[in-house]
Chains A and B, each alone.
Chain A
Amino acid sequence: MDPQAAKLIGAGLAMGLGAIGPGIGIGLLAGRAMDAIGRNPEAQGAVQTNMILGMAFAEAIGIYALVVALILKFV
């Protein structure tokens, strides 16, 4: 297979498959945060801050996949 073609296919696969995990993770996080706010609306500030923090960790994994895809495409 032409190496250029393999690179492009690799970039697409890297980003596509790499987005599954963080997508599910962030969705679960947000869902639990909604539950928590629903049960206890007064704790909204604390729940929201910790949710953003947790989302940063989960999203970073997706960003690693993005970096691999970008390196395959542009370097």
Chain B
Amino acid sequence: MKNIVIAGGLVAALSIPGAFFLRVDRPHIVLPAEGLFHVAGFVITNTMLSAWVTLLVLTVVFLLAIRKRDLVPSGMQAWVEGYTEAMLSLVEGVAGKAWGRRFFPLVATIFLFVITNNWLGLLPWVGPSVYISEEVVKEGHAEILHLPLFRNPNSDLNTTLGLALLAMIMVQYWGIRANGLPRYIGKFVNVHGPINFFVGILELISEVARAIAFTFRLFGNMFAGEVLLLIMTSLISVLFFMQIFYALEVFVGFVQALIFAMLTLVFATMAVAGHGEGEEHKEH
């Protein structure tokens, strides 16, 4: 107990001169992703680069895992099999056996992509520490901009919008596959009475709102987390206290990945629900 008080006192005492000598520059935060290179008319942004790194990491992990097909797995194979089994049981728990198998690839891939993006974005070389200098001439005088080389792809609205559109389009596709196009459209354009018509319009609006909600939920959480970590690091001169927010970011990264995947699964299950009820009646 006494040691804890002494340690706490030392940290507090160190932070006072630290405020004068251990300063970090105020971070320069921009919302859109910074473009790094120009290739054949395309701009390669730092979030694109990080997304490719994520894809590389995922590919390497899975290639290592399936090198030997042991019946009793060990090492990397055990990790990957454990994850696959856990995710499959989660998906089948929500969607049932048949549809669960069909939803599993998309849901599991979304989860893996988002969580790898988020957790790789917490490593030291992501963010303003590793940068490319670019000289920009603005109004006569030259400015040197530091563009970070890596950045969490989910902090770019383009990535999250792409994922959200993918998820919602697949949900519509599965809904049409399960119920047939006329019955599925009948859910939105319901001509049996004025109240049902209004409910149909609301359903249509809520589908669009879900895509927007997906986008902004993931973007807001990740961009705000990035801003929070940068500000906390520059604000508190003794490095010690930033770790609390770092731990929060680790947790938030996992939770947002899980929520994106689970919500996709839940919406897909709701979209195919009409057909499912018919099947159950036949089985019993």
Interface residues of A (CB under 8 A from B): 52-53, 56, 59-60, 63-64, 66-67, 70-71, 74-75
Contact of B217 among A53, A56, A71, A75 (CB under 8 A): A56
B220 within 8 Å of A (CB atoms): yes
Pick from A56, A59, A63, A74: contact of B263, CB below 8 A. Answer: A56
Set of chain B residues within 8 Å of A53, measured between Cβ atoms:
259, 262-263, 266
How many Å lie between the Cα of A53 and that of B29 in the bound state? 31
- Contact present for A74 and B31 (CB under 8 Å): yes
B contact set with A: CB distance below 8 Å = 29-31, 213, 216-217, 219-221, 223-224, 227, 255, 258-259, 262-263, 266
Determine the main DSSP class of B at the interface with A.
helix
Complex Cα–Cα for A19 and B219 (A): 17
A interface secondary structure, majority: helix
Alpha-carbon distance between A60 and B258 when the two chains are bound, in angstroms: 14
Beyond A56-B259, A64-B220, A70-B220, 19 extra complex contacts between A and B, CB < 8 Å = A52-B259, A52-B262, A53-B259, A53-B262, A53-B263, A60-B213, A60-B216, A60-B217, A63-B221, A63-B224, A66-B220, A67-B219, A67-B220, A70-B223, A70-B224, A71-B31, A74-B30, A74-B31, A75-B31
